[in-house]
Amino acid sequence: MLEVKNLTYSYEDGTKALENVNIDLKKGKKIGIIGANGSGKSTLFLNMVGILKPKRGNILFNGEHIKYSKKYLREYRKKVNIVFQDPDKQIFYSNVYDDIAFALRNIGYDEEEIKSRVDKVLKRVGAYDFKDKPVHFLSYGQKKRVAIAGILVMDGDVILFDEPTSGLDPLMTREIVNIIEDISKDKNIIISSHDMNLIYEICDYIYVLEKGKVIKEGLVNEVFTEKEILERAGLEEPWLVKIHKKLGLPLFKDEEEFFSYWREKYGSGIDWS
């Protein structure tokens, strides 16, 4: 599994973007990295996938320090990969199918195997219907699905999502959330965002970044009830947390928790269906 140990990173111009950051993916299946603009989320992700190299500290995968040779990174990115915020950074081919097939062709799979794998991921992200379309005709949300499919087709272990819903309308946001939830059933995922509602809904363990430092980590319910920490990090409480607090209710993560609390307290007098 992936681990970040005492990571410090500074850019060429001297900006210290990360300082002594520790992240352990074993702590949750769906890890959230939250922080305001410029807090270091993207820098952290770029270090985790080996695009940037730590000035101090290490990235460990399955207990071993990652290496920075081309050969090592090619193998590493079959296991750990990133879906960038901007899908245009990720899509290189003018045709959807070819773009997703690219990595598999590079590895040397035969075309039959490639077709079966590509079709499978296209269906999984709801992009099968436009698989033969030129990429420049796709909407932003459709490109986002193609970018996710391009990573998913590698069938790795860990996927990092950098601001996965930024720039999407509510309907497309919901669809991307559903795709991420589905992917998280068989992969470890890590999501960076300043959308607290999204992180609250999806993630189980959270790290809060402020000016390159982790100022808090913990289970969702522990982190999101700490208003001062969120304010310090320049973030807002999720709307659901605000409502819980106003109503004096304990913090429920999902409908199931809410209904079982309600049934226990008030019996089954109300028909919620």
- Give the N- to C-terminal CA distance of the chain in Å, as an integer: 41
Select 117 or 212, whichever has its Cβ closest to ligand ATP: 212
- Residue 193 CB, shortest distance to ligand ATP, in Å, is 8
- Residue from 30, 42, 148, 191 binding ligand ATP (CB under 6 A): 42
Are the C-beta atoms of residues 44 and 121 closer than 8 Å to each other?
A: no
- Residue 166 CB, shortest distance to ligand ATP, in Å, is 9
The span of 7-15, 65-73, 115-123, 135-143 binding ligand ATP (CB under 6 A) equals 7-15
Tell me how far apart the alpha carbons of residues 25 and 5 are, in angstroms, rounded to a whole number: 12
Name residue, tokens 């790290």.
207
- Total residues interacting with ligand ATP, rule: CB under 6 A: 13
What DSSP string describes 53-95? --SEEEEEETTEE---SHHHHHHHHHHEEEE-SSGGGT--SSB
- Residue 36 CB, shortest distance to ligand ATP, in Å, is 7
Tell me how far apart the alpha carbons of residues 31 and 49 are, in angstroms, rounded to a whole number: 16
CA nearest to 151, candidates 41, 96, 86, 77: 77
Q: Does 81 bind ligand ATP (CB under 6 A)?
A: no
Q: Does 43 bind ligand ATP (CB under 6 A)?
A: yes
Which parts of 11-40 interact with ligand ATP (CB under 6 A)?
A: 11, 13, 15, 17, 35, 37-40
Site string for ligand ATP, 165-204 (x = CB under 6 A): -----------------------------x----------
The span of 9-17, 98-106, 137-145, 232-240 binding ligand ATP (CB under 6 A) equals 9-17
Tell me how far apart the alpha carbons of residues 61 and 73 are, in angstroms, rounded to a whole number: 12
CA distances from 124 to 96, 120, 128, 148, 149 (A): 15, 6, 8, 10, 8
How many beta carbons lie within 10 A of that of residue 166, not counting itself?
Answer: 14
- Residue from 41, 117, 131, 244 binding ligand ATP (CB under 6 A): 41
Q: Which residues are near ligand ATP by CB under 6 A? A: 11, 13, 15, 17, 35, 37-43, 194
